[in-house]
A = this chain, B = another copy of it.
Amino acid sequence: MADSTAAPSLFIPLILGTPRQGRKSEHAARFVFEQVKKRAGVESEWIDVRELPLRFDDAGEQIKDAKFSETMKRADALILVVPEYNHGYPGLLKHALDSNLEEYIHKAVGICGVSAGPFGGARVIENLLPVMRELGLVVTSTDVNFGNIAKIFGETGELKDENFVRRVSSFLDELIWMARVLRHGRENIPPA
């Protein structure tokens, strides 16, 4: 139909950025994943850095995993759910991201920061900005900050703070818009 060609389905995988045992960020990631899958015209995929078949005796594009790389190539945008470790990003997330490069160019990324304390990963988001840019990704300006994470989700991951429905919705609005804009650009606007 004309409608579906005018607005083709977007592919926006979500990456849970830590292998930490007992990670509370998994609750946040599962919640955001449910929300993005509800969006019309958006497909997603769950990626857990703990499950990626990473090698640790090398780094960069040499350790590229074919399946992960294919997913990044197909993606129109990424969602990163990232706990803050010492004001920086989890090492294994970076190790995984560094394994690709051209796959990311001119795509959007939205970041959800997670922390046990009140600032919701505000600092890890800042710390990721230069990396995202160098990978060719455009970081949207509407983050979600899951601060005091233990108060937002219960033991089994049920949402206890309804404000996050609205916050994730705004986050997805901005990410989907930017994903559409950049996809149109990649497909239709020639290099200057």
Contact = CB atoms under 8 A, between A and B. Distances in A.
Interface string A140-178: 010001010000000000000000000000001111111
Contacts of A127: 88, 126-127, 130-131
Nearest to A93: B91
Contacts of A141: 133-134, 136
B189 A90 contact: no
A119 B119 CA distance: 5
Contacts of A128: 88
A90 to B, nearest CB: 6
Given A58-B21, A96-B91, A172-B192, A181 B177 contact: no
9 contacts: A19-B58, A21-B57, A87-B131, A90-B94, A95-B95, A118-B119, A119-B120, A126-B127, A181-B189
